[in-house]
């Protein structure tokens, strides 16, 4: 991702975003084996790989032979795909292109839209003619780098471009968290944080540790705390329980009663001043809630 950022900073402010159509389902066995023969001399290994590629698959209860593609989820498939697409890397290097590739995701950085359109056409012809792979025209595009995402990241539009978390990556995290919060109704907040939120948030933050724009982390931290306050408000259910809960958290009797009887819904109350006062950030820190913003800071200091 740092390479992508540097290409954009160097003036290559257009990207050819290539998406290969059903890549793992469309890998041509003969083309792949011909590339393997160049590297592997042991015929026993070659026969074993061919049998792996042709292993039968179940369809409507019947086993059918595999004529193309690699078994998805198999430990060997990513390696074989990289061996096949290594030829694409060599072709791009031969042409002098600046690019980033991870598995079947490729971004080629160019200086103009017209250059990008030429590269798109010529590389599509190369992939279809030499490797028998088809480019997905609907998902591929020539666009500005900040309009596209690569491996969950995107870039800012500034001349000194910076890495950021793509908006769709933030939305996917929210979807996963919503499912956890739905399952967490009725559970102890501390145990929910420890058992389900912390592993997910730590893994997500470790992946996006390269992001240089911090706004999304602050926004997600606030959203997560509000969802937890919403969960607490729902758990109280009755007005009396809400009055008691707010008073236990330090609110005066009159304020607690007024807040508990405001007639608003859980999400509104979760963002209101009384719930923020009763359950500030420090409360969730003590519960062990991982702050994405603070974790980002720690990871960047350690790197």
250-293: pLDDT as tens digits: 999 999 999 999 999 999 999 999 999 999 999 999 999 999 99
Q: How many CB atoms lie within 10 A of CB 131?
A: 20
Burial label, 102 (beta-carbon count in 10 A; 0-12, 13-18, 19+): exposed
Confidence band (pLDDT; 50, 70, 90) for 58?
Answer: low
What tens digit of pLDDT does each residue of 85-118 get?
999 999 999 999 999 999 888 999 999 999 999 9
Q: Torsion angle of alpha carbons 117, 163, 152, 218, nearest 10°? A: -140
What tens digit of pLDDT does each residue of 178-228 get?
999 998 787 899 999 999 999 999 999 999 999 999 999 999 999 999 999
Helix (H) / strand (E) element for 178: namely: helix 167-183
Q: How many CB atoms lie within 10 A of CB 59?
A: 8
Query: What pLDDT does 110 receive?
Result: 96
Q: What is the pTM of this model?
A: 0.84
């Amino acid at each position: 991702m740092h390479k992508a950022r540097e290409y954009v900073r160097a003036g290559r402010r257009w990207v050819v975003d290539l998406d290969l159509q059903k890549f793992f389902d469309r890998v041509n066995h003969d083309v792949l084996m011909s590339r393997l023969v160049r590297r592997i001399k042991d015929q026993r290994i070659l026969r074993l790989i061919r049998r792996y590629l042709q292993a039968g698959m179940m369809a409507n209860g019947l086993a059918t032979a595999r004529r193309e593609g690699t078994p998805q989820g198999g430990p060997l498939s990513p390696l074989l795909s990289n061996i096949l697409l290594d030829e694409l890397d060599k072709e791009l290097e031969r042409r002098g292109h600046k690019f980033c590739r991870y598995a079947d995701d490729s971004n080629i950085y160019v200086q103009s839209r017209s250059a990008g359109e030429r590269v798109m056409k010529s590389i599509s012809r190369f992939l279809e003619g030499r490797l028998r792979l088809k480019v997905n025209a609907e998902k591929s595009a020539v666009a500005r780098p900040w309009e596209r995402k690569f491996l969950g990241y995107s870039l800012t539009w500034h001349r000194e471009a910076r890495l950021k978390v793509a908006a769709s990556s933030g939305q996917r995290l929210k979807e996963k968290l919503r499912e956890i919060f739905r399952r967490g109704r009725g559970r102890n907040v501390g145990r929910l944080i420890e058992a389900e939120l912390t592993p997910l948030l730590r893994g997500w933050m470790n992946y996006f540790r390269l992001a240089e724009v911090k706004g999304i982390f602050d926004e997600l931290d606030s959203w997560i705390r509000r969802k937890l306050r919403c969960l607490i408000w729902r758990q109280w259910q009755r007005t009396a329980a809400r009055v008691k809960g707010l008073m236990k958290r330090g609110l005066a009797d009159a304020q607690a009663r007024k807040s508990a009887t405001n007639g608003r819904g859980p999400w509104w109350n979760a963002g209101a001043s009384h719930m923020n006062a009763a359950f500030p950030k420090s409360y969730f820190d003590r519960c062990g809630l991982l702050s994405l913003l603070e974790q980002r800071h720690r990871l960047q200091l350690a790197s």
